[in-house]
Chain A
Amino acid sequence: KAGVTQTPRYLIKTRGQQVTLSCSPISGHRSVSWYQQTPGQGLQFLFEYFSETQRNKGNFPGRFSGRQFSNSRSEMNVSTLELGDSALYLCASNTPEGTQYFGPGTRLTVL
């Protein structure tokens, strides 16, 4: 089986811009989770999608949003970027039991 793919791998944006990140889960997996990882805050849960519906949500402002398509691919969007949004954004493809298979991540730098 192909693994989890995330695009792009690296991204540089300026404050105030918006960004869209993409994640393709493992074939057959219907659940996708997103995380933000920073040195200061560690791994923070953003949201989880299952069959195109948001099933869980973390404590992030409304500038962070996501969606899932019928083929289980997922996107997350961050609007009005702030310097503090610089982070590694990780996507995970989830089994029904909760095991997560992570993609390589997207490194976002906000200048």
Chain B
Amino acid sequence: SQQGEEDPQALSIQEGENATMNCSYKTSINNLQWYRQNSGRGLVHLILIRSNEREKHSGRLRVTLDTSKKSSSLLITASRAADTASYFCATGGGGYQKVTFGTGTKLQVIP
């Protein structure tokens, strides 16, 4: 079963627009991570945010974490066609805690 649920399941935007996707999870966490997957390929790690952090930036990516609501959001600013991919949140990992992935958001950026 999936720990996280991403919302929306699919998102289509024009190049240059911002894309926001959300992740909700069920149990307490030490950290939350976001990954990107291009069609049929392995996942690429984007960013990790710890449970004591509220916001983190990496280039055009901005991640927020609200542990009281058990939710996180990923914002991609000024999107590009190359951002077209599926995006997954993941919780757990490190030590004896297995990593569990959400269901993913499929983002399409139209040139």
Contact = CB atoms under 8 A, between A and B. Distances in A.
A68 interface: no
A88 interface: yes
B33 A98 contact: yes
Given A42-B103, A98-B31, A98-B97, A105 B48 contact: no
A45 B41 contact: no
Interface string A52-69: 000110100000000000
Interface in B86-103: 88, 90, 92-101, 103
A18 B31 CA distance: 37
A98 B41 CA distance: 20
Interface in A92-111: 92, 94-105, 107
29 contacts: A4-B42, A33-B99, A42-B2, A42-B101, A43-B88, A43-B104, A48-B98, A55-B96, A56-B96, A56-B97, A56-B98, A92-B43, A92-B99, A96-B95, A97-B31, A97-B48, A97-B94, A98-B30, A98-B31, A98-B93, A99-B45, A99-B93, A100-B35, A100-B45, A100-B99, A102-B42, A105-B40, A105-B41, A107-B40
Interface string B72-111: 0000000000000000101011111111110110000000
A90 interface: yes
Contact of B42 (A48, A55, A95, A105): A105
Interface of B: 2, 30-31, 33, 35, 40-45, 48, 88, 90, 92-101, 103-104
Contacts of A4: 42
A99 B33 contact: yes
Q: Which of B31, B45, B93, B94 has the most CB of A within 10 A?
A: B93
Nearest to A59: B1
B101 to A, nearest CB: 4
Nearest to A56: B98
Q: Which of A35, A99, A104 has the most CB of B within 10 A?
A: A99
A102 B44 contact: yes
